[in-house]
Structure formats: structure tokens, C-alpha cells
Amino acid sequence: MGSQVLLSRVLVRRFININNKRLVSVSSKKNDTVAVDECKTVPKPNKNWISFGYYDKDKSKDRFYGHMSFFTCVTLALTLGTFYFAYVPDHTYKDWAQREAYIELARREKNGLPLIDPNLISVDKIQLPSDEELGETEIII
């Protein structure tokens, strides 16, 4: 009888947790009973598991969300982001300006015009300072 009570006490302490209280009644009565409102089995902790930080208690959910976030960051963000920036149109219009310059040079060559017009701005519109205004200023050409 004493060994049965001891065994039941060990089993109750090991597997049943009632709101962080262990209720075991030990008496010399013939019918030993324990009144329990709610029984919860305590899961064995997994000693070799380190959480990814998504779920501390559920290993399968934690691994799933950890792997999905890694897949999303690496595959979608880095790979697709690299392809996007590689093929995004030129927003500075550098390529467009260069193409237009080649087209204009080809047009001038075809028509026999000089490649760069020396009178791009008419001479009448340019106002240069007089020799008196320049004085001793050194002019570098």
C-alpha cells in the first residue's frame, strides 16, 4: 500500500501540472483519491532545438515560419530585386541622349553640314566686355 501511494505520488508530480500546484492527498484511508479539475500533461522539452524566434513552444510552426521568411527574403527580395534593377528603364535618360546625339550626327553628315555648328548662338546675341572693362585681366584661350 505504501509503495503504491509513493508510486502514484511520483507519477502525479511528474506528469500532471495543475496551475503550477501539485495536489496529492496522502492519508491512511482505504480509498485514496485526488480531486483534479483540469489535467495537463507536461511536454518533454526538446533539448537539441534552438528556436528561430517565431514560436518558442511549437517546433514545426517555428521551422515553417523560419524557412518561409528565409525563402521570402533570399529568393524573392534578392533574386527578383536584382532582376528588377538590372532591367529597369533608364530614368536619367542617359541612353536616350546618346542615341539622339548619334542620330543628329548622322543627319548632319548626310546633309553635308559641319558636325558642330560654330554659330550655334548667333554673334549678334553675344555681348563681350570691351578692352577697357577687361583692363589687365589675363585671357587664357
pTM: 0.34
Query: By 3-state DSSP, what share of the chain in percent is helix, strand and coil, each rounded to 5?
Result: 50, 5, 50
Share of the chain above pLDDT 70, in %: 67
Nearest partner of 22 among 30, 11, 6, judged by Cα = 11
How do residues 64-108 score in pLDDT, each as one tens digit? 999 999 999 888 888 988 999 889 888 888 889 999 999 999 999
Q: Specify the higher pLDDT residue, 120 or 110.
A: 110
pLDDT at 68 (0 to 100): 93
φ, ψ (nearest 5 deg) of residue 105: -65, -40
In eight-state DSSP terms, residue 125 is G
- Tell me, rounded to whole angstroms, the distance of Cα 61 from its chain centroid: 20
What's the confidence (pLDDT) of residue 76?
85
Nearest 5 degrees, angle CA 93-CA 97-CA 99? 115
Average predicted confidence (pLDDT) for the chain = 79
Assess contact for 92 and 81: CB atoms under 8 A. no
Average pLDDT over residues 44-63: 83
Instruction: Give residue 118's pLDDT.
Output: 84
Average of pLDDT values for 25-31?
61
Q: How many CA atoms lie within 13 A of 42 on its CB side?
A: 13
Average pLDDT of the residues in 16-42: 59
